[in-house]
């Protein structure tokens, strides 16, 4: 963040405080504050931080309060033209109210009401700028949760030109951001289309649709479903500690492709929950062994085995918990959305690497190609089946081995599994490269947006007219009106006391 003191503002600009040029209005945090039970589906809008989206107040999940509850509130009532600003949690989220006649704010927000001498959206865009982000970094007083006080927000330093220049800056910003938004909209649409295509390709792969021609060309040499099932039975027949359901699960059902239906347990030769270690070292500080945690797995079946986190482990533990090329790592505990992530160790780690106890290492029987099973377990059909066996609490979800072993998988011959993996690798690598390009473009757009805002509030985005009023004259007028208003309020208080 660039400090304002390091910016050479135009000579007729001034630096002032947000508290001088805006009224800052906290919500009512007293006994009349509406709790969850007071919220309804209609009435007067009650806005919280989650309702601020892309500079606007979203009504998608908006709560409402009754007129009676609203009337009891002593403060925190906004009107058209106000700015709602987040001072707890997601600091700096802001929305310009251009659509709601009135409403009330939750305790995580504050109302910023620009002085009438200012262009209101000038203040709004300032609050989104890198300069305001720098002020947040300076005044954030939160410990467990980021937090700003109204008093600290009032101390934010704001660069101010005259009113006409403010309006020109707003017009230019909205013109430039409109063009950026068009690009973002097209990239987001393309991203969603690619994601849909990716899901469809994986779905088709495990319905046999990607290898119809391959099966026709290799019909004479393809194993039958019965042959595949017999081989699976032979490879998983030993007592390896899994439940009886794993051995006796139905695994000979053939479909129109000549494939066999098996369970996860039937193709698992060995499974092991990872190593518990609370003491961890970053970037190899001291001795230790590389340690894979659940955040190293993504939702596309990939795992990073680069050595970044290290733990102490005995030679026996290293040997027992070591991951090898071809291992699957299954995320047994995580949030409700992320639990069940599966990833394939595609290359041998360059140094001994062990894994966390939120992960299960799965080693497969010879009849199951690891990449084929990995793609399938990451696919929409398998994850849909896994939804039914999740066990969830308020904060964490789990998939237990005894439930995982029962889930069905399709299993073609080894040669067809390899063919499907080749097709998926080829198609999905193209899709993923295009998705990465889109994400890079979106990041560059965010960077460009910040750069434009910095130019705007450094005085270099628009030209200043030679006849424009100086900012100092504007601020003098604001101070004069505030002083007059304060005198009037003091006089009225005195009159009430005498009466």
- pLDDT tens string 386-397: 999 999 877 789
State residue 253's pLDDT score.
42
Q: Is 303 helix (H, G, I), strand (E, B) or coil?
A: strand
| 108 touches 33 (CB < 8 A) | no
Per-residue pLDDT tens digits for 238-273: 544 443 334 344 444 455 788 999 999 999 999 999
What's the farthest any 2 CA atoms get from each other in the chain? Answer: 107
Same domain for 229 and 359: yes
For the chain, the average pLDDT equals 89
The total number of structural domains that make up the chain = 4
Which pTM was predicted? 0.79
State residue 279's pLDDT score.
84
d(CA 287, CA 289): 7
Does position 237 have pLDDT exceeding 60, yes or no?
no
Does position 201 have pLDDT exceeding 80, yes or no?
yes
Per-residue pLDDT tens digits for 280-308: 887 655 578 999 999 999 999 999 998 88
Same domain for 432 and 392: no
Torsion, CA 162, CA 164, CA 166, CA 167, rounded to 10: 170
Same domain for 153 and 13: yes
d(CA 259, CA 207): 10
d(CA 32, CA 23): 22
Pick from 108, 125, 160: which residue ends a domain?
160
Contacts of 408 (CB under 8 A, 6+ apart): 261, 262, 263, 385
Per-residue pLDDT tens digits for 386-426: 999 999 877 789 999 999 999 999 999 999 999 999 999 99
Same domain for 137 and 13: yes
Same domain for 25 and 153: yes
Tokens of 242: 């899994």
State residue 486's pLDDT score.
57
Tokens of 493: 């208080």
Domain residue limits at 13: 1-160
Same domain for 242 and 123: no
Mean pLDDT, to the nearest integer, of 433-443? 96
Closest to 387 in 3D by CA, of 397, 395, 396 = 397
Same domain for 348 and 228: yes
Which H or E run includes 271?
strand 268-273
Same domain for 166 and 153: no
d(CA 499, CA 490): 14
| 89 touches 49 (CB < 8 A) | yes
Mean pLDDT, to the nearest integer, of 314-335? 96
Same domain for 283 and 236: yes
Among the residue ranges 369-383, 410-424, 454-468, the one predicted with the least confidence is 454-468
DSSP 76-100: -EEETT-EEEE-BSSTT-EEE-SS-
Does position 445 have pLDDT exceeding 90, yes or no?
yes
Same domain for 430 and 405: no
Same domain for 131 and 167: no
Tokens of 5: 């003191």
Same domain for 230 and 288: yes
Q: What is the CATH number of the domain that holds 146?
A: 3.90.220.20
Q: Could you identify the residue written with the tokens 């966390």?
A: 356
d(CA 170, CA 165): 9
d(CA 156, CA 19): 8
Mean pLDDT, to the nearest integer, of 447-476? 89
């Amino acid at each position: 963040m660039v400090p304002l003191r390091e910016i050479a503002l135009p000579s007729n600009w001034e630096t002032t405080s947000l508290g001088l040029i805006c009224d800052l209005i906290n919500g009512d945090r007293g006994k009349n504050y509406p709790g969850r039970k007071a919220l309804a589906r209609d009435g007067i809008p009650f806005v919280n931080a989650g309702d601020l989206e892309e500079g606007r107040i979203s009504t998608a999940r908006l709560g409402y309060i009754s007129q009676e509850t609203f009337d009891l509130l002593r403060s925190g009532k906004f009107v058209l033209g106000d700015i709602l600003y987040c001072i707890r949690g997601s600091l700096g989220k802001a929305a310009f109210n251009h659509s709601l006649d009135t409403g009330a704010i939750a305790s995580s927000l504050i109302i910023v009401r620009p002085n009438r001498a200012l262009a209101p959206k000038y203040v709004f865009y300032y609050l989104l700028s890198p300069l305001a982000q720098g002020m947040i970094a300076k005044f954030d007083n939160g410990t467990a949760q980021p937090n700003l006080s109204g008093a600290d927000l009032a101390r934010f330093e704001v660069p101010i030109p005259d009113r006409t220049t403010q309006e020109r800056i707003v017009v230019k910003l909205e013109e430039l951001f409109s063009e950026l938004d068009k690009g973002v909209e097209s990239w987001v649409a393309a991203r969603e289309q690619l994601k849909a295509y990716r899901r469809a390709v994986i779905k088709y792969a495990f319905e046999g649709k990607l290898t119809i021609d391959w099966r026709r060309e290799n019909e004479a040499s393809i194993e039958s479903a019965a042959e595949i099932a017999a081989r699976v039975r032979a490879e998983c027949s030993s007592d390896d500690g899994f439940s009886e359901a794993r051995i006796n699960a139905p695994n000979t059902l053939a479909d129109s492709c000549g494939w066999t239906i098996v369970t996860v347990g039937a193709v698992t030769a060995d499974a092991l929950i990872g190593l518990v270690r609370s003491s961890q070292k970053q970037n190899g500080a001291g001795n230790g062994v590389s340690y894979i945690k659940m955040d190293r797995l993504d939702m596309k079946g990939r795992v990073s085995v680069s050595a970044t986190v290290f733990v102490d482990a005995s030679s026996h533990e290293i040997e027992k918990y070591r991951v090898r090329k071809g291992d699957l790592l299954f995320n047994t505990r995580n949030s409700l959305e992320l639990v069940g992530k599966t990833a394939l160790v595609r290359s041998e780690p360059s140094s001994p690497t062990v894994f966390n106890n939120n992960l299960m290492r799965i080693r497969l029987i010879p009849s199951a190609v690891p990449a084929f099973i990995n793609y399938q377990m990451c696919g929409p059909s398998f994850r849909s089946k896994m939804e039914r066996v999740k066990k969830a609490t308020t904060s964490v979800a789990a998939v237990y081995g005894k439930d995982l072993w029962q889930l069905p998988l399709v299993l073609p011959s080894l040669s067809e599994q390899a063919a499907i993996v080749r097709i998926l690798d080829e198609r999905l690598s193209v899709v993923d490269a295009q998705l990465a390009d889109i994400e890079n473009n979106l990041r560059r757009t965010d960077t460009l947006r910040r750069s434009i805002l910095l130019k705007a509030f450094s005085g270099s985005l628009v030209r200043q007219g030679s006849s424009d009023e100086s900012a100092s004259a504007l601020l003098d007028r604001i101070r004069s009106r505030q002083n007059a208003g304060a005198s009037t309020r003091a006089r009225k208080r005195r009159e009430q006391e005498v009466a």
